[in-house]
Amino acid sequence: MKYFPTIGLEVHAELNTKSKMFCGCTNAPHASEVNTNVCPVCLAHPGTLPVPNKEAIEMVLRFGQAIGAQKADYSEFDRKNYFYPDIPKAYQISQYAFPFLTGGSLKGVELTRVHLEEDTARSGHENSEGSEVDFNRAGVPLMELVTEPVMHDSKTVGDFARELQLVLRTLGISDANMERGEMRVEANISISPVEGELGTKVEVKNLNSFKAVEAAIEYEIKRHTVALDNGEELTQETRGWDENTGKTFSQRSKETAKDYRYFPDPDIPKLKTSEIPDYHAAVLSEKIPKMPNEKRLELQNLGLSEQMIETLITDLELDTFFNAVVAILVDADPKATVLAANYISSDLKTVEGGATIMPAVFAELINLLHAGDIGSRGAKDLLPKLVGYTGTVKALAEAEGVMQNSSPEVLQQLIATVVADNQQQVEEYQSGKETVLKYLVGQGMKLSKGSANPALLEEMLKTEISK
């Protein structure tokens, strides 16, 4: 029987604030020493009072601007009640009825809401005598995003999650490293024999990579399909993901909002975002950086390939470097910009310390390459020598002997040698085997140690042996 999958996501992202969400402790959840960034507030000592972090609120509101969400002027924090060792208060400060953001979309996926809450502590189970809890992460600002259930396959989900990570990094509000738990994806999956209808929903947690997100969804769709085909009844539940077996496993029955007994936190005043001090200056007047989709369109118009584009925009350091180089090449032939993108997205990445090359130095390299003063081999050989280099690239190219020689007299002597040493290949070309020309050009480049202008060499060689 044919079934129609429906998938929605809940994504948590730790925010890059200086301090935690409701106290002044340093926001450093990965500190090497356990329980060092803690205080009576995040340890829930009696009598302590939480104070919302303005920087975290502003980060969420900036995210809302980037995705076109509706900003709520009125918002409040709630207590989400449940007991677990990593929740010191036996409740989590979160948001329920009045989140900061509603609506918006990303990668064509509609969003339901975005709200703020505090992260939990981290439980460790390495000690054979019992579990240990590290409260360095307790109270870290956590942005939660909920999508509408509008995705229907694992690829769409994976693409959305990757784009979200890229947007968070572009805005500078989260590193969103999934392996470190800075971005966590939970997938809600159901299938139904009727298109447009929802089936029994299962939530899969513990997804710490994009690969795991996609694999878990594929596994659940197959599991649901087999169960329904066999006449079995599915249970609404929370399941975990086992990376080793490539399977999900049951953890507990799925809670509903009623189970958490949400109610407004009486210790935190209600919030009107328009009354946040310096809100307009800090958020509304601050220019949102170009979002990934806007960058893609601009780079497509420059003539870059899809692979180049994705390499550049997914690496913020490379992206920044490319933009600095393009600013210097602003009046250059568009082909020079494509050349720059090609070398930055491929060769520069392999150079140790390549990130320290000055944009002006790299731009000169591209100009020499584009003008035909140096060849591709010469440019690749020069790249490692440009790390920390502050002189002119032309002087370095001359010192290294990689400047291309376009002198007709010099090239003619080179061609004479190539023809004399490769009479068989010359005759093959003259008899109609045109592909052998590349071999002869290669021999000429080898003789010149890469210094000959390959385009001019090929043109002159072709003329010579066609006589």
Query: For residue range 313-354, what is the model confidence (pLDDT) as tens digits?
Result: 999 899 999 999 999 997 778 899 999 999 999 999 889 988
Distance CA 318, CA 101 (A): 31
Decide which of 344, 366, 400 is a domain's last residue: 400
Whole-number Cα distances in Å, 94 to 71, 166, 416, 427? 17, 25, 80, 81
Give yes or no for residue 2 having a pLDDT over 80. Answer: yes
* pLDDT tier at 284, thresholds 50, 70, 90: low
Number of H helices, E strands in the chain: 16, 17
53 and 186 in a common domain:
yes
pLDDT tens string 451-462: 788 888 889 998
* pLDDT at residue 105 in the model: 97
144 and 192 co-located in one domain? yes
Q: What is the mean pLDDT of residues 253-262?
A: 81
pLDDT computed for residue 307 by the predictor: 93
Do residues 273 and 279 lie in contact, with contact meaning Cβ atoms separated by under 8 Å?
Answer: yes
User: Quick one: 205 and 307 in the same domain?
Assistant: no
Task: Please tell me the predicted confidence (pLDDT) of residue 279.
Answer: 54
The reported pLDDT for the residue numbered 376 is 85
Lowest mean pLDDT among 129-133, 165-169, 182-186: 129-133
pLDDT of residue 397: 92
Q: What is the C-alpha separation between 24 and 32, in angstroms, rounded? A: 19
Query: Are 174 and 128 part of one and the same domain?
Result: yes
Q: What share of the chain is helix, strand, coil (3-state, %, to 5)?
A: 40, 20, 40
Contact 373, 403 (CB under 8 A): yes
Residue 281, pLDDT > 70, answer no
Rounded CA gap, 8 and 111, in Å?
10
Among residues 283, 317, 345, which one ends one of the domains? 283
Average pLDDT, integer, range 215-232:
96
Alpha-carbon span 107 to 167, nearest angstrom: 11
Report how far residue 284's alpha carbon sits from residue 269's, in angstroms, rounded to the nearest whole number. Answer: 23
- Domain span at residue 448 reads 408-465
Contacts of 3 (CB under 8 A, 6+ apart): 191, 192, 193, 199, 221, 224, 225, 228
Share of the chain above pLDDT 70, in %: 98
**Radius of gyration for the alpha carbons in the chain, expressed in angstroms and rounded:** 30
Domain identity same for 79 and 53: yes
pLDDT at 85: 86
Please check the confidence at residue 467 and state whether its pLDDT lies above 80: no
Domain count of the fold of the chain: 3
How many residues are present in the chain?
Answer: 467
Whichever domain contains 432, its CATH number is 1.10.10.410
- 237 and 347, same domain (yes or no): no
Arithmetic mean of pLDDT, 46-51: 95
Strand partners, 238: 203, 252
Same domain membership, residue 198 and residue 68:
yes
304 and 419 housed in the same domain: no
What pLDDT shows up at residue 301? 92
Give the 3-state secondary structure of residue 359. helix
Q: pTM of the predicted model, to two decimals?
A: 0.85
Could you tell me the two tokens for 403?
A: 């400047």
Q: Is the pLDDT of residue 117 over 90?
A: yes
Band the pLDDT of 1: cuts 50, 70, 90.
Answer: confident
226: phi then psi, degrees, rounded to nearest 5? -60, -45
> In degrees rounded to 5, what are phi and psi of residue 166?
-65, -40
Residue 334 has a pLDDT of 87
412 and 390 assigned to the same domain:
no
Query: Can you give the pLDDT at residue 451?
Result: 76
Q: pLDDT category, 249, cuts 50, 70, 90?
A: very high
In this prediction, residue 332 carries a pLDDT of 74
* Contact criterion met (CB below 8 Å) for 450 and 378: yes
Element (H, E) at 237: strand 237-242
Q: Using one digit for the tens of pLDDT, what is the confidence trace for 342-388?
A: 999 999 988 998 888 999 999 999 999 998 888 888 899 999 999 99
**Residue 285's pLDDT band (cuts 50, 70, 90):** low
pLDDT tier, 280 (very low <50, low <70, confident <90, very high otherwise): low
Same domain for 90 and 193, yes or no, is yes
d(CA 106, CA 291): 11
Confidence band, pLDDT 50/70/90 cuts, at residue 278: low
Give the domain-ending residue among 400, 433, 450. Answer: 400
My answer on whether 114 and 255 are in the same domain is: yes
Q: What is the pLDDT of residue 98?
A: 97
Region of 58 on the Ramachandran plot (φ > 0 left; ψ -120 to 50 alpha; else beta): alpha
What pLDDT was estimated at residue 409? 87
pLDDT the model gives residue 333: 81
Tokens 């093959």 -> residue: 428
More confident residue, 288 or 158: 158
Give the pLDDT mean for 152-179. Answer: 97
According to the model, what pLDDT value does residue 377 have? Answer: 82
C-alpha 74/C-alpha 98 separation (Å) is: 7
The answer on pLDDT for 282 being more than 70 is: no
Q: Is the predicted pLDDT of residue 407 greater than 90, yes or no?
A: no
* pLDDT for residue 77 is more than 70: yes
- Phi, psi at residue 75, to the nearest 5°? -150, 160
Residues 252 and 345 in one domain: no
In this predicted structure, the answer to whether residue 277 has a pLDDT above a threshold of 80 is no
Name the band, by pLDDT with cuts 50, 70 and 90, for residue 448. Answer: confident
